[in-house]
């Protein structure tokens, strides 16, 4: 079974072969053209090949240009190129909002310099993590805009690269000393290692990362419509059409992850973001592991989304994500997860272990069929992801949905 290293090598090999085919040609800003086809051609020419040519997002894509040479690197600097959504205006004209000085203000008050072995563990820098060095990044390489949110270990800001074509990103800051305090150095490393190698339209891209004495910065794909969880809270539940489109995208993304031997293990609305065109992005790999996971379960997710084999502490495999997809389908349509019990942890546990599933009458027969087939006690009996994508409920709504369902409830 492939290890993190071998997955990394496979993808690096793809990128290197793309570079040999011209991907690392001279630093030349890629001009956005009127023609979408030309943009796609440029992308093919300059970017690493998309592993899923059929699964590209409906939005257009564009590439980050090769960066100027990095004087500290061992070889000429090469930038891994990356697709993202095209924003309606050129990125350099897009308003990124007003910066509140949060990175500097917080850096004064928060976190400490980390030394010793932990410092080495957290010296995370994408310019030195591969066989061929890529661009070395610094905070000064970005114009910083509005705050996007606060996470456990630091803030996230909308930023734009100063270098052409002024690429828009979400820059996430993590305080090293707080990571060490929470004893999650390994988990953070794993999350970064996994996420940087994934390329799928419904998986949030991690383009690069860098660090200073106190902080690690992650250069993430900007998810313009924010958290899916907020939308779910705002509307209470989603229409079956919107739910089906999201579940289709989730099934596609999970199939991709599983093909890379990555089990997500923490699928829930809080970990999903929405891109500018409304497409769903899996955005948190904190609990992901490489398959097979023979280890016994440490309860690592919200109980509501965990399958019987995990709450019972048994061994598990990628089919935990099939179960979570069933829970997600239910929650999108109904507005709350199926085994939620206000009386507490034990009650939820019992309901999951018995698969005590009560589906309200408002749920259509087709959606009900999908939910029941995913929420099977026996992991082997759960509907495979390829069948989820062929399920009549998904197919019917996919056919009716010309574009991502960003704006509807
Ligand atoms: P996190 O630390 O990942 O929980 O992020 C904190 C908050 O920042 C999230 O709840 C989002 O609202 C926002 N955020 C994180 N990543 C992104 C992103 N890539 N694009 C847009 N907003 C983000």
pLDDT in tens, 183-212: 888 888 888 988 999 999 999 999 999 999
The best mutation among 273, 281, 286 to test binding of ligand 1, ranked by most ligand atoms within 8 Å of the C-beta, falls on: 273
Q: Which 3 state secondary structure label does DSSP give 272?
A: strand
Query: Ligand 1 centroid vs 141 CA: distance in angstroms?
Result: 20
Residue 112 pLDDT: 85
* Contact (CB, 8 A) for 62 and 29: no
Mutate to test the pocket of ligand 1, among 103, 149, 204 (most ligand atoms within 8 A of CB): 149
Mean pLDDT, rounded, of the chain: 76
Taking the centre of ligand 1 as the mean of its atom positions, its distance from the CA of residue 335, in whole angstroms, is: 22
Spatial CA neighbour of 3 closest among 297, 260, 191: 260
Q: Whose CA is nearest to atom 9 of ligand 1?
A: 149
What CATH topology corresponds to 226-398? Answer: Transferase(Phosphotransferase); domain 1 (1.10.510)
pTM value? 0.76
| Helix, strand, coil share of the chain (percent; to 5) | 40, 15, 45
- pLDDT given for residue 285 in this prediction: 74
pLDDT at site 90: 60
Task: Answer with the residue of higher pLDDT: 164 or 242.
Answer: 242
Tokens describing residue 12 = 């690096």
Among 85, 148, 272, say which to mutate for ligand 1: greatest number of ligand atoms within 8 Å of CB.
148
pLDDT digits (tens, 9 = 90+) for 131-148: 666 788 999 999 999 999
Q: Directed axis angle between helix 240-259 and helix 319-334, to 10°?
A: 170
Nearest CA, atom 10, ligand 1? 149
Counting from 1 in the atom list of ligand 1, the atom nearest the Cα of 230 is: 12
Q: Which amino acids bring their CB within 6 angstroms of ligand 1? A: 148-151, 156, 170, 172, 204, 220-223, 226-227, 273
Nearest atom of ligand 1 to the alpha carbon of 153: 2
Lowest mean pLDDT of 38-47, 238-247, 374-383, name the range: 38-47
Q: Give, using CA atoms, the residue closest to atom 19 of ligand 1.
A: 222
Residues 313 and 1: their CA atoms lie apart, in Å, by: 23
Confidence of residue 110 (pLDDT cuts 50, 70, 90): confident
Instruction: Tell the residue nearest (CA) to atom 1 of ligand 1.
Output: 151
* CA 362 / ligand 1 centre spacing (Å): 33
Q: Name the residue ranges covered by the structural domains of the chain.
A: 20-62+91-220, 226-398
Q: Residue 215 and residue 154: Cα distance in Å, rounded?
A: 9
| Residue located via tokens 């019987």 | 308
Higher pLDDT, residue 60 or 339:
339
Residue whose pair of structure tokens reads 């992801």 in the numeric block: 385
The alpha carbon of 280 and the centre of ligand 1 are apart by a number of angstroms equal to 14
- What pLDDT does residue 190 have? 84
pLDDT tens for residues 249-282? 999 999 999 999 999 888 999 899 999 999 999 9
Q: Which of 82, 151, 229 to mutate to test the pocket of ligand 1 (most atoms within 8 A of CB)?
A: 151
Question: Which pLDDT tens digit goes with each residue over 280-305?
Answer: 999 877 666 655 444 434 455 468 99
The pLDDT of residue 224 is above 60: yes
Is the domain defined by 20-62+91-220 classed in CATH 3.30.200.20?
A: yes
Q: Of 242, 11, 331, 67, which Cα lies nearest the Cα of 323?
A: 331
Ligand 1 centroid–CA 261 distance in Å is: 25
| Total residues found in the chain within this entry | 409
Centre of ligand 1 from the C-alpha of residue 112, in Å? 23
Mean pLDDT of 362-374: 98
pLDDT at 278: 94
- Residues belonging to the active site: 266
Strands, DSSP E only, in 54-198? 142-151, 154-161, 168-175
Contacts of 243 (CB under 8 A, 6+ apart): 329, 332, 333, 367
The continuous run of DSSP H or E covering 227 comes out as: strand 226-227
- Nearest atom in ligand 1 to 281's CA: 19
Distance of alpha carbon 63 from alpha carbon 393, whole angstroms: 35
Alpha carbons within 13 A on the beta-carbon side of 140: 2
Q: How far is CA 285 from CA 193, 281, 292, in A?
A: 10, 12, 16
User: How many whole angstroms from 222 Cα to the centroid of ligand 1?
Assistant: 9
**Cβ atoms 323, 300 nearer than 8 A:** no
Distance CA 101, CA 220 (A): 20
Q: What are the Cα distances from residue 147, in Å, to 131, 170, 314? A: 34, 9, 41
Sign of torsion over alpha carbons 245, 250, 253, 255: negative
* Cα–Cα dist 289/397, whole Å: 32
């Amino acid at each position: 079974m492939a290890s993190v290293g071998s997955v990394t090598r496979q993808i690096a090999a793809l990128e290197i072969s793309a570079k040999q085919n011209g991907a690392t040609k001279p630093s030349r800003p890629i001009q956005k053209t009127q023609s979408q086809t030309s943009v796609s051609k440029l992308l093919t020419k300059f970017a690493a090949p998309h592993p899923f040519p059929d699964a590209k997002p409906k939005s257009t894509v564009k590439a980050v240009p090769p960066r100027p040479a990095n004087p500290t690197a061992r070889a000429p600097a090469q930038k891994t190129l990356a697709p993202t959504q095209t924003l309606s205006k050129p990125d350099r004209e897009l308003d990124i909002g007003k910066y509140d000085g949060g990175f500097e203000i917080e850096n004064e008050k928060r976190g400490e310099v980390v030394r010793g072995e932990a410092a080495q563990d957290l010296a995370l820098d994408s310019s030195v993590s591969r066989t061929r060095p890529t661009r070395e990044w610094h905070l000064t390489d970005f114009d910083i805009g509005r705050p996007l949110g606060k996470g456990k270990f630091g803030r996230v800001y909308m930023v734009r690269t100063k270098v052409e074509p002024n690429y828009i990103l979400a820059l996430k800051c993590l305080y090293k000393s707080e990571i060490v305090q929470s004893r999650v150095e390994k988990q953070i490393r794993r999350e970064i290692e996994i996420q940087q190698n994934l390329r799928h339209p419904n998986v949030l891209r991690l383009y690069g990362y860098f660090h200073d004495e106190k902080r690690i910065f992650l250069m993430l794909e900007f998810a313009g419509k924010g958290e899916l969880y907020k939308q779910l809270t705002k509307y209470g539940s989603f229409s079956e059409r919107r739910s089906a489109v999201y579940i289709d995208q989730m099934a596609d993304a999970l199939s991709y992850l599983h093909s890379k031997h990555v089990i997500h293990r923490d699928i829930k609305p809080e970990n999903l973001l929405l891109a500018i065109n409304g497409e769903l992005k899996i955005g948190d790999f904190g609990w992901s592991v490489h398959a097979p996971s023979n280890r016994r379960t440490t309860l690592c997710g919200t109980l509501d989304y965990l399958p019987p084999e995990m709450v019972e502490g048994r061994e598990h495999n990628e089919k935990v994500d099939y179960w979570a997809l069933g829970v997600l389908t239910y929650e999108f349509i109904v507005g709350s997860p199926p085994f939620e019990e206000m009386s507490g942890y034990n009650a939820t546990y019992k309901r999951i272990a018995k698969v005590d599933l009560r589906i309200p009458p408002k749920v259509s027969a087709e959606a009900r069929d999908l939910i029941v087939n995913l929420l099977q006690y026996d992991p082997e009996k759960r509907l495979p992801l390829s069948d989820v994508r062929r399920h009549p409920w998904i197919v019917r709504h996919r056919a009716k949905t010309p574009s991502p369902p960003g704006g509807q409830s």
